[in-house]
A and B are shown apart, each in its own frame.
Chain A
Amino acid sequence: MADKNKKQKKVILVEDNPAIIEIYTTAFKIAHINAEFITLGREAIERVKKIREGKEEKPGLVFIDLILSDINGIEILKEIKGNSKTKDITSFILSNYSPPDFQKTEQIKPDRFILKTSVTPTQLVKIVKEQLN
């Protein structure tokens, strides 16, 4: 009972493909996962800054797509992992682009890299639940 009342942490997905957003929205809704989609990279960076300033709550998990319409997802990852106030936010790269060499990107690495085609929405829900619990 206590678990049910406990507010579940939010999952943020930085994703710009409408079909993928629709699929994950449906899957997360059925699984009662509190998910928010951010479609622009710069908007995501603004969100990270607000979290750093304490104006927004820290999410339980962030999924970042590498190829976005405005900036590269790595920039968002740098914004999260490059600051002591946000580096503890679990951040996964969820992309259809092969993993870049993170060693070259100033020691900034995601907590996990997931190839989008390799996971079904059901599997992604399972990953989220494992992470949030």
Chain B
Amino acid sequence: MEKVEKIQGAKIGRPGYINENCWLVKNLNYSPYNRCQHCDQKFRNCLFLHYQTISLALILFLLVLSFLIEGKISKLIIISVFTLVIVYGYFFNKSTDKIIKANFAQREAKEALEELTKNLQKKVDEQTKEIRKAYDVEKGARMELEALGNAKNQFMLAIQHHLRTPLTSMNGYVDLLLSGAYGKQPKKTKDVIEKFKNSTGKLIKMVNEFLDITQFQLGKKVVSLRPGVEILPILDDIVKDLVFEAESKGIYIKLNKPEKTYIIEADPEKLKLALFNLFDNAIKYTQEGGVNIKLQDKDGKLQIEIKDTGIGISQENIKNLFGRTFERSDIAKRTFATGRGIGLYISSQIIQAHNGKVWVESEGEGKGSTFHIEFPVEEK
């Protein structure tokens, strides 16, 4: 189609003009140095042969004609024949040159296009090579980083026993001191021991959280599920622990106790930690009003709803709220300066390890939040 348009658009004598109907052009395959498909002659030779054959035939024809008419070959006839042959040769040669020029132009254009394609391909190859190189560097760095992270996690796991054992002793001795196992302490001493106990407790919580994160990142199990765990006493314990914190802020925390008993398969200590983080967060980020907790049946599962009237969460922050560690929203930082940004991550991982799920709804910043937790319930 393109070829036809090219022929129609070009004029005879201009570069690019090719008479597609010419038998020579057809048979010589458009190239002056290619061989003819029929006679194996080169294009130029073929044209010359063609010219010679036609000229010879013309001379012979005219000589025979002259001889037949006049009975002899006159000088005029000979001059006329040679003039005719020269003129024929001139025009034949001129048209042949046009074809050759057109073929050369086409060949040059083709070569230029091939060169351009080659250069373009070279550039594409070079750029691909550079991109691949950059990707390899990035991949290498990422693998190195992953290997380092893995080594760090493995190291943390290896030393977890050594990290926790002295803390267990500290906690144990403090507990014995406060329980009076080593005799009654003066009030001032007891106050100091209480402070020491609080600090030890915080340190234990932090070490346990970091070790839990390490376990999650290595895909290791962190919970030891056992059947027949009643959920309400766990929730009740957490609320009792947090009532003082809520009241000191002038807000409330209320657990709406259901009539039904919910039994789940759980690791009570870990579950308490996960739910404590969520309840504690609700109190931390609520300045007015309070936190309401209720339990309900939902499609044969237990659903716990924690609704607060706090700072709320923007849609942008909701997206990856449970997937981030050591990151907190600006409004969270303004409201409560000392959080570490790991509580929600740990809670969600523990809940998932209980075959449960957690999600959050909020109409936006300043409009409160509702956390939902869902667990499969054990058949009685």
Q: Report whether chain A binds chain B.
A: yes
Number of A interface residues at 8 Å Cβ cutoff, please give it: 29
Q: Is the interface of B mostly helix, strand, loop or mixed?
A: helix
Interface contact A97-B176, CB-CB below 8 Å: no
B171 on the A face (CB < 8 A) = yes
Interface contact A98-B176, CB-CB below 8 Å: no
Q: Is the interface of A mostly helix, strand, loop or mixed?
A: mixed
Collect the chain B residues with CB atoms within 8 Å of residue A131's CB.
none
A122 on the B face (CB < 8 A) = yes
Collect the chain B residues with CB atoms within 8 Å of residue A95's CB.
161
Q: Which of B193-245 contact A (CB under 8 A)?
A: 204, 207-208, 211, 215, 220-224, 226
B167 on the A face (CB < 8 A) = yes
Interface contact B171-A17, CB-CB below 8 Å: no
Collect the chain A residues with CB atoms within 8 Å of residue B221's CB.
98-101
Please report the C-alpha to C-alpha distance between residue A30 and residue B172 in the assembled complex, in whole angstroms. Answer: 14
Interface contact B224-A99, CB-CB below 8 Å: yes
Interface contact A116-B223, CB-CB below 8 Å: no
Please report the C-alpha to C-alpha distance between residue A109 and residue B2 in the assembled complex, in whole angstroms. Answer: 79
Interface contact A115-B172, CB-CB below 8 Å: no
Please report the C-alpha to C-alpha distance between residue A118 and residue B167 in the assembled complex, in whole angstroms. Answer: 10
Residues of B within 8 A of A (CB): 157, 160-161, 164-165, 167-169, 171-173, 175-176, 179, 181, 204, 207-208, 211, 215, 220-224, 226, 267, 269
**Could you list some 13 contacts between A and B, CB below 8 A?**
A23-B173, A24-B172, A27-B176, A95-B161, A96-B165, A98-B160, A98-B211, A99-B221, A101-B220, A115-B208, A116-B168, A117-B208, A118-B269
Residues of A within 8 A of B (CB): 17, 19-20, 23-24, 26-27, 30, 67, 95-102, 110-118, 120-122
